[in-house]
């Protein structure tokens, strides 16, 4: 973990004792949640995503994961952004399939400018920036979204790849060529967005493209929702 990041957290703790982001109890300076609250997140299963060499997710996008994600997606909660980044970092360190030391650039899933202005921020960029600080790696915007897409959540799984096909463009091919890249996103459902982003980066010359997200929707849960409807 980045030493400057640790020092910042330690100094903050001297003046403002660190507290769990869920229940408010005091916790060690380098944590975001107490041992009880962090167990409320259900661990995500491994997933294979086309064009993504290695994928990891911290939690399942269940009722609790959705509640927490809402804090950084809709409420511009800075503590939730930092907490999500920290949990993604822990998942990366734990995942033996991803060599975090070998990652050269961390990037994120982009938004159209008007969508970002409407929300006020790109939560994926904010989370990626903090994952990069924790990993002591540069965070670079490598992709640009060049056309509008429908929200993936309103589409069926079979419709999602076509929805994002051709939606991204690599804006820094020289920085990409021959590099090992990590894409950070907030939530993954079918993985279509990450797959398309990885395809474009590899097309631009990336050696490997891994991906890490805060939460991954369970295919089983998605199927159950469709049956209930």
Nearest in space to 44 (alpha carbons), one of 30, 27, 64: 64
Mean pLDDT, residues 202-212 taken together: 97
Which of 73-77, 164-168, 201-205 has the highest average model confidence (pLDDT)? Answer: 201-205
Summarised one tens digit per residue, pLDDT across range 194-204 is 999 999 999 99
pLDDT at residue 1, as a whole number = 64
- Note the pTM of the prediction, 2 decimals: 0.86
> Is residue 54 pLDDT above 70, yes or no?
yes
Mean pLDDT, residues 136-156 taken together: 87
> Is residue 219 pLDDT above 70, yes or no?
no
Q: How far apart are CA 198 and CA 208, in angstroms?
A: 9
Summarised one tens digit per residue, pLDDT across range 91-116 is 999 998 898 999 999 999 998 877 77
pLDDT at residue 104, as a whole number = 97
16 or 226, higher pLDDT:
16
Does domain 42-228 correspond to CATH entry 3.40.50.2020? yes
Going from N- to C-terminal start, the domains of the chain cover 1-40, 42-228
- Biggest alpha carbon distance in the chain? 52
pLDDT at residue 186, as a whole number = 94
Both tokens assigned to 34: 């107490």
Decide if 145 contacts 173 (C-beta within 8 A).
no
Mean pLDDT of the chain: 87
Give residue 228's pLDDT band: very low, low, confident or very high (50, 70, 90): very low
Percent of the chain with pLDDT over 70: 92
């Amino acid at each position: 973990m980045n030493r400057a990041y640790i020092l910042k957290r330690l100094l903050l703790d001297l003046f403002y004792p660190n507290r769990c982001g869920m229940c408010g109890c005091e916790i060690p300076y380098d944590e975001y949640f107490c041992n009880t609250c962090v167990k409320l997140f259900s661990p995500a299963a491994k997933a294979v995503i086309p064009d993504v060499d290695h994928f990891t997710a911290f939690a399942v996008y269940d009722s609790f994961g959705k509640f927490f994600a809402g804090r950084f997606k809709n409420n511009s909660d800075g503590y939730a952004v930092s907490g999500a980044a920290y949990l993604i970092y822990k998942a990366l360190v734990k995942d033996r399939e991803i060599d975090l030391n070998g990652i050269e650039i961390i990037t994120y899933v982009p938004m159209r400018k008007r969508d970002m202005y409407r929300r006020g921020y790109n939560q994926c960029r904010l989370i990626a920036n903090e994952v990069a600080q924790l990993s002591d790696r540069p965070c670079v915007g490598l992709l640009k979204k060049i056309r509008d897409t429908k929200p993936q959540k309103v589409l069926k799984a079979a419709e999602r790849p076509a929805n994002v096909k051709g939606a991204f463009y690599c804006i820094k091919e020289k920085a990409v060529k021959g590099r090992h890249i990590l894409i950070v996103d907030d939530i993954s459902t079918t993985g279509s967005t990450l797959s398309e982003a990885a395809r474009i980066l590899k097309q631009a010359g990336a050696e490997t493209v891994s991906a890490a997200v805060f939460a991954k929707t369970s295919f089983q849960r998605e199927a159950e929702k469709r049956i209930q409807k």
